[in-house]
Amino acid sequence: MRVLLLANFDSSLKYAGRLAEAVAALGAEPDIRIPTTVAPHGLGPAQVRAATGRPVRYEPWSELVAAAAGSDVVVPVFDGLTVERFVREVHAAAGDRMPVVGSGYVGMALTDIEGGFLARSLADVLAVNSRSDLRDFGVAARALGLPDENLLLAGLALLPARPAPVRTGPIRTVLFADQPTVPRRVPERTHLWDRLAAYAERHPDRTVLLRPRHRPGEDTFHRMEFSPNAWAAGRTLPPNLRIDHTPIDALIPASDLLLTVSSTAALEAVAAGVRVAFIAEWINNASLNPRLLPSGLLRRFDDIDADRIGAPDPAWLDDVFPAAEGPSPAERFAARLLAVAAGDAPRVHQVLWDSTYHAGRRATDAALAERTAATRRYTPKRVTAGVLRRALRLVER
């Protein structure tokens, strides 16, 4: 059975790689590809090696659509709107030979919960990461008259089925998982890193690692506008603080404490039994952390400085590790995909495609595209005052 897995950024490639391993273990043939057009990838060789050890191919978008139409299963690991666009194009290309479609989230669903779900809701199998997501997605589906049989409470495919016990003992290595746009503003980012430097000075016996989301010049779904490297270039860092670009999968197991504002790396740390603190200097939607309030792990820097580190709330752990017994999340997702492809579980893509909600969504998008095209055809280009002055000077000459 041919399973096509598509990714356009390092985090989605990591997700696709985990799912590919699970698919292969069940006897299917995984094929990982990266689009080179339309959906920008920016994936360099180092990012690919860090994300997966499986072979990866680069292809234009149109060729990926054709390859998907000829596959048994396709899982586009993109952002929601790109998933929706891709599924629509595959549907048009495949006709009656539509492959089984899978979709999921590469991290915690922290913002635009309903919008992200609806953009992915054409999937035959939608892997859901948490019990709270399942509840929210179900509410949206029922409100819009959509079937919810495609929702699979699997857990995040990057994680094991259950977390390891939280390790105790002295804190020797502290890992800060930076994010490209959280916080976004330069003064806030500077303050965050300054507090991390102050933490290192306060605890000279500890190694503090600042791990940027990506290296300068590399790309992710959220591009970094002000990097820790730029911040560090203008100051002398404490000797026990360093910027480290080692893949975070390798850094987490060797750490005693992980700090972040809202990175999904915190879930990987919890899974490994590492202590975690979500930095609570900013609680707002832009920081992607209001949904982390039940975790029991939000702490101000003053608390972190004093080692007042919390423990995960048991109810929150049950929420974000819903597959505590049995197969891992990736294995659950892979098994359902192959079961649907084999006819051992029902398909819902066509029902969803024909629903009044999705038919109306396509009609609205078509009308908006036509309106935009008409505007471009008939609206004169606006000319700025500066451009006009320069043009007039050329005429005067």
Give per-10-residue mean pLDDT for the chain (397 aa): 94 94 97 79 77 91 96 96 96 95 94 95 98 97 97 96 94 96 90 96 98 68 70 91 93 97 95 97 90 96 96 96 90 98 96 97 94 75 57 50
Residue 365 is predicted with a pLDDT of 94
Give the pLDDT confidence score for residue 222 in this predicted structure.
47
Residue 166 domain flag: no
Same domain, 12 and 135: yes
Any domain includes 153? yes
- 115 plus 192 within the same structural domain: no
Are residues 87 and 49 both part of a single domain?
Answer: yes
Q: Which pLDDT score is estimated for 396?
A: 46
Q: Residue 125 is part of which domain span?
A: 2-161+327-354
Same domain, 88 and 24: yes
Indicate whether 167 belongs to any domain: no
* In a shared domain, residues 36 and 147: yes
One domain for residues 345 and 207: no
Q: Is residue 36 part of a domain?
A: yes
Residues 88 and 214 in one domain: no
Within a domain: residue 180? yes
**Does 83 share its domain with 149?**
yes
Residue at a domain's end among 274, 294, 320: 320
Q: What is the pLDDT of residue 379?
A: 56
80 with 137, same domain: the answer is yes
Structural domains in the chain (count): 3
Q: Which among 305, 308, 299 is positioned nearest to 196, based on CA atoms?
A: 305
Residue 311 lies in a domain: yes
The predicted pLDDT at position 262 comes to 93
pLDDT value of residue 51: 85
pLDDT value, residue 380: 58
**CATH number of the domain to which 120 belongs:** 3.40.50.2000
Q: Record the tokens describing residue 147, joined without a space.
A: 């079937």
Instruction: Kindly state whether residues 242 and 371 are assigned to the same domain.
Output: no
pTM: 0.88
Q: Verify that 220 and 96 share a domain, yes or no.
A: no
Closest CA to 177 of 277, 110, 98, 102: 277
Q: Is residue 17 part of a domain?
A: yes
Q: Are residues 28 and 107 in the same domain?
A: yes
Secondary structure of the chain in HEC code, one letter for each residue: CEEEEEECCHHHHHHHHHHHHHHHHCCCEEEEEEECCCCCCCCCHHHHHHHCCCCEEEECHHHHHHHHHCCCEEEEECCHHHHHHHHHHHHHHHHHHCCEEEECCCCCCCCCHHHHHHHHCCCCEEEECCHHHHHHHHHHHHHCCCCCCCEEECCCCCCCCCCCCCCCCCCCEEEEECCCCCCCCHHHHHHHHHHHHHHHHHCCCCEEEEECCCCCCCCCCCCCCCCHHHHHHCCCCCCCEEECCCCHHHHHHHCCEEEECCCCHHHHHHHCCCEEEEECCCCCHHHCCHHHHHHCCEECHHHHHCCCCCCCCHHHHHHHCCCCCCCCHHHHHHHHHHHHHCCCCCCCHHHHHHCHHHHHHHHHHHHHHHHHHHHHHHCCCCCCHHHHHHHHHHHHC
Q: Is residue 168 part of a domain?
A: no
pLDDT of residue 45: 81
